[in-house]
Amino acid sequence: MSRVAAFVFRRKGGKGWHWTDIVTWVWLVGGLFIMFGPAVWLVGSSLKTPAALAEFPPTILPYVTQKVSVEGFDKPFDLYEVTLDDGSKATLAEVRRIGIVSQMVDPKAPGEIIKVNIAQRTPVREMSFATENYTEPFTHFDFFRYLWNSVFVTVVATLITLVVNSMAAFALSKYEFRGRTAAMLVILATLMVPLSVIMVPLYSIVSALGLFNSLWGVILPTVATPTGVFILRQYMLTIPDELVDAARMDKASEWQIYWRIILPLTAPALAVLAIFSVVWRWNDFLWPLIVLSRKELYTLQVGLSIYSGELNVQWHFILAMTVVTMIPVVLVFIFLQRFITTGIAGTGLK
Amino acid sequence: MIGAAPAFVPVPRLGAGGEGSSKVEEEKKMNKINTMLAAFAVGLLSSTAAFAGEVRIMWYSDGVEGEVLQDLLGRFMKDNPGINVILDNVSYSVVREQLPVQLEAGAGPDIARVTNLKALSPHWLDLRPLVADAAYWDENFGGQADWMRPDGSNQISGFMTQITLAGGFANKTLFEQAGVAIPSKEATWDDWAKAAKQVAESQQVPFAMALDRSGHRLTGPNVSYGANYIGADGKPAPLDDGAKAFIGKFVGWVADGTMSKDVWVSAAGSTYRAGADDFINGQLAYYYSGSWQVPNFSTKIGSNFDWVATASPCGTVNCTGMPGGAGLVAIKYTKNPQEVAKVMDYLAREDVVKEFSERTLFLPAHKGLVAKGLEFKTDDAQAKAALNTFVAATAGLSDVAQKLPGWFWSDAYYGALVTRVSQAAAGELTLEEAFSRIDADVAAKVKDSGL
Amino acid sequence: MTIDGSGKTGPRVGEIAMAPVRFAMGLVDAPLRKLQKVAGLGGMATFFLLPNMLIFGIFVLLPFFINFAYSMTGGSALFLSDRSFVGVDQYARLFDCSNYLDPNSCAEDTFWTAVGNTGWFVVLQVTLMIAFSLVTALILNRDLKARSFWRAMFFFPVLLSPVVVGLIWKWILQRQGLLNFGLYGFGFDPYAWLNDRTWSFAAAVAVSIWAHMGFYTLILLAGLQAIPKDLYEAAEMDGTRSMRVFMRITLPLLMPNLLVVIVLVLIRAVQIFDEVYVLTGGGPGTSTLFLTQYIYETGFATQLRNPGLAAAASILMGVVLVVLTLVQLGLGRSSDKNGGRK
């Protein structure tokens, strides 16, 4: 395989670079920055204070103005690099600022007040991680409750999705019956109905069923995924019908054929669907926001939205909590990377 | 003192007969739903029933007010062990988009912090027969009572958790550096535009002025140029010359760079956007927003530069700002009206309102408290001065400005204003097109609503 | 492919954990055997299909039909029973234009602006998405070191929620964002990219490609790896140039996968909403206002909402999408003739 690839875009025997080598190199290195850069930026920003977040030019790492305690004063002062009138430079602490004049002292010799125009000072900065963006939400934000709700929704929805979708896919791939094409068509067509379009009617149905403010109201509407049925059916079509026929000869029931023969053979496709379902349900936002308005039912995604007020958004908390909610997905990805990437190949999505 | 009740004794509920039977029915309904769902999940259904003595508050936060309220409620529950108050913190979009839907379905929390108080007023509970001392409520919160009750009733629906007032902020340091005097109280919008532009040019900052992307913010200056949205029949009137005068100026300022374009073109539709970040960064000489920015500025600007709150600049008619704010209202569909009234009585108590306002730096609505004055809990002298400026400015509100918050169609009007003025600011519509679109949009809303 | 791959390592912890599942499945078997006797094979097909279709019917199809009913009613009430029947008024309002090429001449000008924007978006985004994922797939198909790392790198944004994607890029592209910081270093003045009509549209296209490219890349990569090597070996012997090999062998054999990708990308592009809503809010002006946002705002997010009008708009969007489905089915049928893989 690799020999073929090498041929398609061959590098000429290591003697010099074919143009495709350059494209590859540029693409991958560029990809490295474009793909990971934003995530690194997000993590860096989540450790900044609200003031630092609003500041321009921004810094990649979180910096704050260094503080210094000066003898004779109770409060620590901000430290500045100052260009004095005679052109010399000094590091001074600002006692107070009146208009455009800053009154400063030398922290080492705090007797004398030096007046400096504010245009002539730049703050001395040091790196400081605003870990309170993380710790504070944990104290007044019922993190573990939300985590549990998120996990519950994700796991239960994924299990139901797997069972229900695989049963439907089994019927649609291994039985000949009238309306099979129609059923498949209907399922495919709903691939095209985005949630935001049917939100109002869906809301009235969910509230009529009494599923409002219930985790089941979040789980049930999402489990019959058309994509899932589609992926599984395509995969099951590649399983030879002879296996099914042979099992029937051996007096296996249809249910046994489903779960002892078809399901194990569909494992790679099921793994892919499981992973996608986990990611989808974990990231669901709009719908849980509508259904869940009691805090003991919040999922993490809903929980972190409470920092969006009417007139002010507390970005520092939102960024930090976003990073926290991303961690499980990233972990799932790191451990199951092989399944995802080879699994999609295996399902031969077509 | 109001509501300083002795330790709570679980008294038998008033009107037990009616309530009891509805309770039974409720339970029957619940049972039915439960059986239905048992097929899906046994025992995992989280019940939607309200427990006796449970009061749910739907609350959104712009800053620390959620924590402060939780604190106050904690004390209430200690004194009233029979009442369990649960604070459901939500995002503002939930209050704005989902709560109306829940209310229409006859559901929702027991108490909510809401901004579109008038439009949803049919859903609010009348607390008049339930509160301990209705006269106290009328006396201290009567000024805004009409904002949150159906037209023509004398209902007590709740009280304002905060009063906000639109107004301006100047970056004093930039003005001083530029050697431009901060315009006086009587200065007009034109004076401010000229001064701010001078500052921006001399100090090389990108923006002279900015105004939040909000119909409410635009309305203050509109009214000061003589606008009145309310028609003779109480329905929306077409845009008048006053409104057109200021909007024309505004769009002109956006075009010539005096007014920051960024804030207004940063979204489509009626989405709210604030220009606060540019002001906090010292990139903006004059920012027209409102009193709620004070705590925000206090934490984020710190000692980076000096800033002052100015009241609203003047138009040709007056110098009004727009009042507004969020109200805490009780909801009609509650199962526990007695407990709800108790909670409301507690939260409206003078000492509680005082503590809440002082810790959150909100302007209180409580008349007696405003008369006595507050000691805001901040060691930032600029913030204190700014809050006092806003308190003083409440005196100069015009009649129209005071009427608008209690007018059913305000939100619809504001929405049309924002949508179309921002299109004009982005250069998609001419001024004349924008004006006729605003009128058409508002007329369509009136027609759609069937009222 | 790897059907027996799982058996290689022999019995594992997983097998033991599966024991209760096996037991449960066995328990279900007896009643189902009886059912099978009564219902026959066709009945069993219905049985397997039923749970999915039931959930589907209640939570997807039913709302869709209710939506249709909504589009025939007026007022701002939420529940159908409180709404008044208005016939095709809502559709008439959407189509009330004096010149269909100029949104400004329409009663619902924002609807037509959204339609136009969505059209441009679909054309641009689908083309670029296919181009980018194809190039990436070709590169990943080469003999690379640490290929699984590179593959994962391009895939990982697929795992992020749309809200997070929009948020991250907003923080990069806004005036005080990372991009301007980089340019500032080179002496450029900060520029508000998202407030520029062209750039914000470009950003909407680019960000949606960034977020979803990895998924389509993998589908294409799977197709590339399934192309028999002997074809390439034969071409090598004939000394065919690599571009020609790509046009003559790679592309035709990749067609089935490419078609799937095209249709999926197309459907997603028409529905574009979340990322862009967070990123630009539809601005500046209405230059990135897309159809789904129009529907969402009209029917749900504004004061005095108009669910009827929103429903009518969504039905129109549905019609367009059904046409796309039919195209997919037509194409799918012709590719089915090539037979499934394996």
pLDDT in tens, B274-306: 888 889 888 899 999 999 899 889 888 877 888
Based on the fold, state whether residues A199 and A81 are members of the same structural domain: no
Distance (Å, whole) CA A44 – CA A35: 15
Burial of residue B35 (CB within 10 Å: 0-12, 13-18, 19+) is exposed
Looking at CA atoms only, how far is residue B306 from chain A in angstroms? Answer: 7
- Residue A266: both structure tokens together: 């569909």
* Tokens (6 digits) for A146: 């939300």
Whichever domain contains A340, its CATH number is 1.10.3720.10
Within an 8 Å CB–CB cutoff, is residue B122 touching chain C? no
Q: Is the domain of A151 the same as that of A84? A: no
Q: Is the pLDDT of residue A188 over 80?
A: no
Least confident of B82-86, B119-123, C184-188: C184-188
Pair A10, A84 in one domain: no
Nearest one of C333, B274, C60, B1 to A192, comparing CA atoms: C60
Query: CATH second-level architecture of B51-163+325-372?
Result: 3-Layer(aba) Sandwich (3.40)
Domain co-membership, A96 together with A239: no
Judged by CB atoms closer than 8 Å, whether chains meet at A310 and B62 is answered as yes
CA B73 to the chain's CA centroid: 22
Q: How far apart are CA C228 and CA C233, in angstroms?
A: 9
Could you tell me the residue ranges of all domains in chain B? 51-163+325-372, 165-322+380-449
Q: How many separate domains does chain A show?
A: 3
**Confidence class of residue B110 from pLDDT cuts 50, 70 and 90?**
very high
Q: Residue A20: its chain C contacts at CB < 8 A? A: 242
Residues in C 164-193 with any Cβ partner in A closer than 8 A: 164, 167-169, 171-172, 175-178, 180-181, 184, 190
Chain A, nearest residue to B65 by Cα: A309
B104 → chain C, closest CA residue = C78
Do residue A206 and residue A332 come from a single domain?
A: yes
B25, pLDDT greater than 70: no
Segment C174-184 mean pLDDT: 80
Which pLDDT value is given to residue C329?
63
Q: What is the DSSP string of C103-115?
A: GGGBTTHHHHHHH
Mean pLDDT across the stretch C91-95?
Answer: 88
C-beta contacts of C170-175 below 8 A and 24+ residues apart: C170/C194, C170/C278, C170/C279, C171/A41, C171/A42, C171/A45, C172/A38, C172/A41, C173/C203, C173/C279, C175/A56, C175/B262, C175/B278
Reported as a single tens digit per residue, the pLDDT across B188-220 is 999 999 999 999 998 888 899 999 999 999 999
CB contact under 8 A, B269 and C75: no
Is the domain covering C85-336 a CATH 1.10.3720.10 domain?
yes
B90, B92, B89, B9: which is closest to B53 by C-alpha?
B9
pLDDT digits (tens, 9 = 90+) for C147-162: 778 888 888 888 888 8
Same domain (yes/no): A198, A334: yes
User: What distance in Å separates the CA atoms of residue B384 and residue C55, rounded to the nearest whole number?
Assistant: 58
Residue of A300, A334, A335 lying closest to A318 (CA atoms)? A300
Q: Between chains, do A210 and B283 touch, taking CB under 8 Å as contact? A: no
Answer yes or no: do A239 and A113 share one domain. Answer: no
The pLDDT confidence band at residue A12, using thresholds 50, 70 and 90, is very low
Query: Do residues A176 and A108 share a domain?
Result: no
Query: Which chains border C (3 or more CB–CB pairs < 8 Å)?
Result: A, B
CB contact under 8 Å between C141 and A8, yes or no, is yes
Identical fold, B51-163+325-372 and B165-322+380-449 = yes
Structure-token pair, residue B177: 């550096």
Do A102 and A29 belong together in one domain?
no
On chain A, the residues whose CB falls within 8 A of the CB of B177 are 100, 119
With contact defined as beta carbons under 8 Å apart, do B69 and B86 qualify? Answer: no
Q: What's the pLDDT band for B49 if we cut at 50, 70, 90?
A: very low
With 60 as the cut, is the pLDDT of residue A15 above it? no
CB contact under 8 A, B45 and A216: yes
User: What's the CA dihedral at B250, B253, B257, B258 to 10 degrees?
Assistant: -100
Question: Which positions in chain C have a beta carbon within 8 angstroms of at least one beta carbon in chain B?
Answer: 74-79, 84, 104, 107, 109-110, 175-176, 190, 192, 194-195, 197, 280-289, 293, 297, 300-304, 306, 309
Question: What's the whole-model pTM score?
Answer: 0.81
Tokens of A273: 């669907």
What is the Cα gyration radius of chain B?
A: 24
Asked whether residue C336 carries a pLDDT value surpassing 80, the answer given is no
Cα separation of B46 and A140, whole Å?
A: 23
- Termini Cα distance of chain C: 8
Are residue A13 and residue A69 in the same domain, yes or no? no
Residue A51 maps to a domain: no
Find chain A residues with C-beta within 8 A of C258's C-beta.
none
Could you tell me the two tokens for B41? 């999940």
The percent of residues above 70 in pLDDT, for chain A, comes to: 85
Q: Considering CB atoms only, which of A24, A255, A258 is closest to C139? A: A24
- pLDDT for the residue B38: 40
% of chain C with per-residue pLDDT over 70: 90
For range A59-67, the mean pLDDT? 74
In a domain, A49, yes or no: no
Q: Look at B326 and A310 and tell me if their CB atoms are within 8 Å.
A: yes
| Residues of chain B with C-beta less than 8 angstroms from the C-beta of A210 | 29-30, 33, 36-37, 48
Q: Which domain holds residue A17?
A: 2-44
Q: Does residue A309 lie within any of the structural domains?
A: yes
Q: In terms of Cα–Cα distance, which of A206, C323, A59, C94 is closest to B105? A: A206
Please state the length of chain B: 451
H helices of chain C, in order, are 13-56, 62-70, 89-94, 109-140, 147-155, 162-173, 178-185, 197-225, 229-238, 242-245, 251-270, 274-279, 291-296, 307-336
C-facing residues of B in 175-234 (CB < 8 A) are 206
Chains meeting B at 3+ CB pairs closer than 8 A?
A, C
Query: Is A109 inside any structural domain?
Result: yes
A155-167 pLDDT tens trace = 999 999 999 999 9
> B303 at the A interface (CB within 8 A)?
yes
DSSP C260-324: HHHHHHHHHHHT--HHHHHHTTT-STTTT--HHHHHHIIIIISTT--HHHHHHHHHHHHHHHHHH
DSSP per residue, B44-92: -PPP-PPPTTEEEEEEE-SSSHHHHHHHHHHHHHHH-TT-EEEEEEE-H
Q: Which residues of A touch B33 (CB under 8 A)?
A: 209-210
Whole-number Å distance between alpha carbons of A67 and A303: 35
Note the pLDDT of residue C13.
55
Question: Between the ranges A49-63, A228-242, B339-353, where is the mean pLDDT highest?
Answer: B339-353
Q: Residue range C79-93: average pLDDT?
A: 84
Residue A212 belongs to a domain: yes
Interface contact flag, A99 B176, Cβ < 8 Å? yes
CB contact under 8 A, C195 and B450: no
CB-based contact A197 C317, cutoff 8 Å: yes
Inter-chain residue contact B450 with C285, CB threshold 8 Å: no
- How is residue B116 annotated by DSSP? -
**What pLDDT score does B7 carry?**
33
- Domain B165-322+380-449, what fold? D-Maltodextrin-Binding Protein; domain 2 (3.40.190)
Burial of C1 (0-12, 13-18, 19+ CB in 10 A): middle
Same domain, A85 and A216: no
Alpha carbon distance B314, B221 (integer Å): 8
CA distance B79 to B86: 15
Residue type present at position C87: G
* Distance of residue B91 Cα from the nearest chain A Cα, in angstroms: 4
